[in-house]
């Protein structure tokens, strides 16, 4: 059984990005540059943004944080994003959620130029993903967590062609894009959700399970077949201990698996790496 080491994988990804950024600096005279827009002082958002800044330094990518007050209006936010769209020194724009009450998050997201949409969530990039037939991250940005899931499958040499995959969850940022990326690798994908009947029976047939439910220890050992690959995207608070845990009962499921990702220490550590990779890819597209 392989217990995926997210820490090592993230360190390798950042190192590789740092080497590429140095090369780009000498070739083009500047490094890739990410701008993060944050409105208000949501605790989770501030922690995430601080982590972006820290990891961007390791990856040799410039990261500028634009802090706006909780009182910022939708028009002001969109104006700011338009300025960033036009600024040729800005390669990637991340709008940190949640936005203040009264601001239409979708309008703000759609204001980001698809060519700088490092979260891969504008309608244009969603359409590009759904029309794509193979995974080529150099062409457009895909959402960060799904990109991380695919990296893990590649690093742990999981064969996807012809395999049965079940993705639990159909959100626009995780479940749906993961399912399309898996389909592009020729897996046969079932997307499960809260109305799915007899999920345990479906899961027991799966070669690959991607859990993105948001429910602590939702996937239990009786739902997993021997040799399955289990990718746990969930970030939950364990109701018993108060500590962070995933959507999978890792302790009991792990002995059955060929590969499993822990929480913490798995997918979550790679999400910012994917964000920075998307930034570097935007930079390259802009140069070409
Ligand atoms: P959402 O709440 O948007 O989606 C949850 C999905 O789970 C929904 O599609 C829902 O179905 C489905 N679901 C809920 N209950 C059941 C059930 N009983 N059986 C089957 N499916 C069910 O969550 P996200 O996709 O945003 O996130 C999922 C998890 O991943 C969360 O724990 C989140 O914190 C974590 N996350 C982790 C990231 C990382 O970097 N590691 C990044 C983003 C998220 P329905 O559509 O019918 O409501």
Question: Does residue 21 line the site of ligand 1, with CB under 6 A?
Answer: no
- Which residue among 212, 236, 244, 273 has the greatest number of ligand 1 atoms within 8 angstroms of its CB, and so is best to mutate? 212
**In angstroms, how far is CA 59 from the centroid of its own chain?**
17
Residue 58 inside a domain? The answer is yes
Same domain, 154 and 255: yes
Distance 227 CA to ligand 1 centre (A): 24
Nearest to 230 by CA among 266, 195, 273, 274: 266
Task: Give the pLDDT confidence score for residue 42 in this predicted structure.
Answer: 93
Q: From first to last of its 288 residues, what are the pLDDT tens digits of the chain?
A: 999 999 999 999 999 999 999 999 999 999 999 999 999 999 999 999 999 999 999 999 999 999 999 999 999 999 999 999 999 999 999 999 999 999 999 999 999 999 999 999 999 999 999 999 999 999 999 999 999 999 999 999 889 999 999 999 999 999 999 999 999 999 999 999 999 999 999 999 999 999 999 999 999 999 999 999 999 999 999 999 999 999 999 999 999 999 999 999 999 999 999 999 999 999 999 998
* pTM exceeding 0.95: yes
Residues 89 and 175 occupy one common structural domain: no
Nearest Cα residue to atom 24 of ligand 1: 171
Assess whether the C-beta atom of 92 lies below 6 angstroms from ligand 1: no
Number of domains in the chain: 2
Going from the Cα of 214 to the center of ligand 1, the distance in angstroms, rounded, reads 5
Regarding whether 154 and 60 lie in a shared domain, the answer is no
Residue 146: what pLDDT? 98
Give Cα 275 distance to the centre of its chain.
7
Handedness of CA 107, 112, 113, 114 (dihedral sign): negative
Q: Is the CB of 9 under 6 A from ligand 1?
A: no
Task: Identify which of 112, 104, 37 has the alpha carbon closest to the alpha carbon of residue 73.
Answer: 104
Residue of the CA atom closest to atom 1 of ligand 1:
171
Q: What is the pLDDT of residue 275?
A: 98
**What secondary structure does DSSP assign to 150-196, as a single string?**
HHHHHHTT---TT-EEEEE---TTTHHHHHHHHHHTT-EEEEE-TT-
Q: Is 236 in the pocket of ligand 1 (CB under 6 A)?
A: yes
In this structure, what CATH number is given to the domain that contains residue 149? 3.40.50.720
Residue 167, beta-bridge partner list: 191, 210
Question: Quick check: is 214 in a domain?
Answer: yes
Question: Does the residue 134 lie in any domain?
Answer: no
Please, are residues 9 and 268 in contact by the beta-carbon 8 Å criterion? Answer: no
- Give domain status of residue 75, yes or no: yes
pLDDT at 43: 93
Q: Does the C-beta of 30 come closer than 6 Å to ligand 1? A: no
Range of the domain at 154: 144-268
CATH of the domain at 93: 3.40.50.10860
Q: Is 97 in contact with 143 (CB distance < 8 Å)? A: no
DSSP line for 221-245: GGG--TT-EEEE---EE-TTT-SEE
- Please provide the distance, in angstroms rounded to a whole number, between the alpha carbons at the two ends of the chain: 43
Taking CA atoms only, the protein residue closest to ligand 1 atom 17 is: 194
């Amino acid at each position: 059984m392989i217990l995926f080491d997210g820490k090592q994988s993230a360190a390798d990804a950042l190192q590789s990005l740092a080497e590429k950024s140095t090369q780009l600096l000498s070739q083009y005279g500047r490094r890739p540059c990410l701008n993060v827009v944050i409105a208000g002082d949501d605790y989770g958002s501030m922690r995430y943004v601080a982590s972006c800044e820290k990891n961007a330094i390791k990856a040799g990518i410039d990261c500028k944080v634009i802090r706006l007050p909780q009182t910022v209006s939708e028009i002001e936010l969109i104006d700011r994003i338009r300025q960033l769209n036009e600024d040729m020194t800005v390669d990637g724009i991340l709008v940190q959620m949640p936005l203040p009450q009264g601001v239409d998050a979708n309008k703000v997201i759609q204001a980001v130029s698809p060519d700088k949409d490092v979260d891969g969530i504008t309608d244009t990039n969603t359409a590009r993903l759904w029309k794509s037939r193979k995974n080529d991250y150099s062409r457009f940005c895909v959402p960060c967590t799904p990109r991380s899931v695919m990296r893990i499958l590649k690093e742990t040499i999981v064969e996807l062609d012809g395999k049965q995959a079940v993705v639990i969850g159909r959100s626009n940022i995780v479940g749906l894009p993961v399912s399309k990326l898996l389909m592009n690798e020729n897996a046969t994908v079932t997307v499960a959700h809260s109305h799915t009947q007899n999920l345990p029976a479906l899961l027991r047939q799966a070669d690959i399970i991607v859990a993105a439910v948001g429910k602590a220890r939702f996937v239990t050992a009786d739902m997993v077949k021997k040799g399955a690959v289990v990718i746990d995207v969930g970030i939950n608070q364990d109701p018993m201990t108060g500590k962070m845990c995933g959507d999978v009962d890792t302790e009991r499921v792990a002995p059955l698996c060929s590969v499993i990702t822990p929480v913490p220490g798995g997918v979550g550590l790679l999400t910012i790496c994917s964000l920075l990779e998307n930034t570097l890819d935007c930079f390259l597209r802009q140069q070409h």
